[in-house]
Amino acid sequence: MGKPLSFVFLFLLRCCFMSSLAWPEKNITTDQYALLALKSSITSDPYDFLAKCSPSSSPCTWVGVACNTRHGRVHSLNLNGMGLKGTISPQLGNLSFVVELDLGDNNLYGQIPKELVRLGRLKLLNLSYNDFHGEVRWIGYLSSLEQLHLQNNSFNGFIPLSLLNLSRLETLDWNFNFLEGTIPSEVGGLQRLKTLRLASNKLSGAILRTISNLSSLELLNLSYNALSGMFR
């Protein structure tokens, strides 16, 4: 009876091993499709930075892409300053292992797809110096965020109350947009915040005294709004 049991055990072990080998390949294919979808939503790539992005090559070799050696998944996507024009594909939300997403300083436009809320490992999100518009109420559910750069766009609406969920946030830069309403008291709960920039918006109301409780704050810019009051 020992031999059949040993055979079954070895068979199951081999199956598990083969499955573990196949899994990363399947996952990197998911990342590949997500990046190809992003490429298809780009209408202008003046310097051909995305020319190498094709189904026949690994996304880990593409310009601006870095992969995690442990998981074999896309870890970072940095397309900053590449002169790209177009929109963000919702499929970008399938990059479930990405930690850094930097699309700053391009000519991207439109609304940010809410599917990005699935990027639960994201620590850095830079969408600055584009022409994105609309609201991003879901931004507070990216609970791992440490750096959030949304400056110099056309975002409107109110600062979302969900910001309170960003307990690790160190930088919040939302300068030069069209935000309106008041600064929510939830901002005062971001105890790791070092940089808070909300200048050149349409914010109004009293400057919150709770901001003075941000003991880690090093840089604060609320200028060119319709705010009133003082804090110490």
Nearest by Cα to 181 from 161, 163, 209:
161
pLDDT digits 0-9 by tens, 124-173: 999 999 999 999 999 999 999 999 999 999 999 999 999 989 999 999 99
Contact 65, 76 (CB under 8 A): yes
Q: Two tokens at 42?
A: 């780009």
pLDDT in the model for residue 209? 81
pLDDT band at residue 232 under the 50/70/90 scheme: low
Across the chain, mean pLDDT equals: 89
pLDDT in the model for residue 16? 41
Q: Two tokens at 187?
A: 């901002």
CATH T-level fold of 2-228: 3.80.10
Percent of the chain with pLDDT over 90: 79
Q: Two tokens at 135?
A: 């609201």
pLDDT at 18 over 90: no
Residue type, 207: I
Query: pTM for the whole thing?
Result: 0.87
pLDDT in the model for residue 213? 84
Diameter over CA atoms, the chain: 84
Domains of the chain by residue range = 2-228
pLDDT digits 0-9 by tens, 21-75: 333 444 799 999 999 999 999 999 999 999 989 999 999 999 999 999 888 999 9
Mean pLDDT along residues 199-223: 92
Nearest by Cα to 216 from 188, 194, 183, 232:
194
pLDDT in the model for residue 22? 36
Sheet containing 147-149: order of strands: 65-67, 74-78, 100-102, 124-126, 147-149, 171-173, 195-197, 219-221
Percent of the chain with pLDDT over 70: 88
Alpha-carbon span 22 to 194, nearest angstrom: 43
pLDDT in the model for residue 71? 85
Query: What DSSP letter does each residue of 44-104 carry, written as one string?
Result: E-TT-TTTT--TTS-GGGSTTEEE-TTT-SEEEEE-TTS--EE---GGGGG-TT--EEE--
Q: Pairing between strand 171-173 and 147-149?
A: parallel
